[in-house]
A and B are shown apart, each in its own frame.
Chain A
Amino acid sequence: MSRVKVYLTSLSVVCLAMLLTPSASAVANKQLLRVTQNQPFQGFFPRTWLESVKVTEPSAVVPVIVTWSTDYQATDTFLVGLSVNGGTCTLYGPAWFQPFRQADGSGDFDSRYFQWVIFPSDGLIKGNNTFTLCGGAVFSPSAIILLGTNTLSVRTMK
């Protein structure tokens, strides 16, 4: 009976781990993330767009460069930024998406490439730092952006 309980507990842990793990089509290497599944987002700026990467800072914290490259369709104008270590969604550089197609995944996509520079004064800390995508619509809460295949990377400046 206790063995069954152990099995059930193990199974629960495995299921929980599977639920918490990003989708199977996403591959991550802490500093690098590649997502190959379309993801729709709706609502006013700012909301979390879930994807994140991490980098380890030395004792003397140095600036980092975050690069995001994505295919997309959007029904209206959108902004994208970063939440550093769980802080507020901030624009650290170029941020705009122009409307393109119907955000339903049909037809072709447009693509965008963003490079953001984060300074120590922006909230970087010694040790692990997390950078999470965030964004949202500028004019309409019903606007939808469909993110296609995309990559997110972070590296420290040497």
Chain B
Amino acid sequence: MSRISQFVRSQSICLAIVCLVIGCAASAFAVPPEETLHVSGQITFNAQCCVSLDRTIAATEPEKPVPVVVTFEVGRIISEGGVHRGFLSGLMVNGGPCTFYGPAYVPTILETVVDNRTFQWVVLPSDGLRPGTNTFTLCGGGAFGSTSLTVASITMSARLSN
């Protein structure tokens, strides 16, 4: 009985260690949730450039900040309307002014066409990054006047450059 008990105990300890290792490994590879954002369902932005579009992600910088690559994807552009066409998208870094850190145009799309667009933005330490938490807020609006943009989803992610 004592031998069985010892065997069960040793096996339980081994199992616990394995579970702990697996748990730690999984969390090590997980992407911090604040660095990504995904919103699905019909989303409409109606603005003239450039205002906050109220979608924010964050990235944590080391003591010496490194560049951040922000990727923004709009899925299935359903319609773009208004008197003026052309919708610009950019970022507000740590609540600063709306700035274009790369391509910006969500193009004029005919209403019968559905399409996606992805943007890669490079934010450098000299753009206002600081040690610790940095926020990246989507901003933009119509390039030539108030414009409405409706999409089926948006995805944002931030990655520290290696």
Contact = CB atoms under 8 A, between A and B. Distances in A.
Interface stretch (B6-14, B52-60, B99-107): B99-107
Given A107-B86, A108-B85, A113-B120, A29 B67 contact: yes
B74 to A, nearest CB: 10
Tell me the interface secondary structure of chain A in the complex.
Answer: strand
A24 B119 CA distance: 22
Interface residues of B, number: 25
Contacts of B124: 27, 29, 32, 34
Interface residues of A, number: 27
A32 B69 contact: yes
A109 B120 contact: no
B118 A113 contact: yes
Contact of B105 (A33, A67, A111, A156): A111
Nearest to A110: B107
Given A34-B122, A111-B119, A148 B162 contact: no
A149 B103 contact: yes
Contact of A32 (B105, B122, B143): B122
Contacts of B103: 69-71, 109, 111-112, 148-151
Contacts of B120: 67-69, 113, 151, 153
A155 interface: yes
Nearest to A67: B120
A34 B143 contact: no
Contacts of A148: 103, 105
Interface in B117-133: 117-122, 124, 126
Nearest to A109: B105
A112 to B, nearest CB: 8
A31 interface: yes
A112 B107 CA distance: 10
B122 A110 contact: no
B108 interface: yes
B107 A108 contact: yes
Interface in B44-89: 67, 69, 85-86
Interface of A: 27, 29, 31-34, 36, 67-71, 100, 107-113, 148-151, 153, 155-156
